[in-house]
Amino acid sequence: MEVIVREYKIKGMPKWDETKKDFLLAFCEAQVLKVAKLQAEIRHDTYNSRTVPALSRILELLQQAKAEAQAEKSNLEKQLAEYEAGGSMMERLAHEMGELKVQLKEKQWALEQVKKGVLDGF
């Protein structure tokens, strides 16, 4: 009995697999058609005589904002390049300014000492 059942299953499985394959194929094709229908409905609802002018205006504003942002980016990149080019010069000037401040303090101290000497001498 067990052998008969096993043989029946072995002989019947290919036909059952083929039937299931056909069903799943038809089901998938139906799902693809449903998705295509939904896409068409969305396009129809999105792009109609009322929305196309508004969407065109939005596109125009976005392109304008993009152009402004690109111009600002270019300007900032130019400023950065100028700063980087002058960076070593700025460092040199800052160092020189520090040295000048030290010299100025030394001269102010010397001047104060001279004033004290002159005042103490009288």
Side chain identity at residue 33, one-letter code: L
- What is the full DSSP assignment across 100-122? HHHHHHHHHHHHHHHHHHHHHH-
**Residue-wise pLDDT tens digits, 14-32:** 888 899 999 999 999 999 9
**Residue-wise pLDDT tens digits, 54-84:** 999 999 999 999 999 999 999 999 988 877 7
Who's near 55: CB < 8 A, 6+ residues apart? 46, 47
The answer to whether the beta carbons of residues 55 and 47 sit under 8 Å apart is: yes
Alpha carbon of residue 29 to chain centroid: 38
| Distance separating alpha carbons of residues 39 and 121, to the nearest angstrom | 102
Single pTM value for the model:
0.43
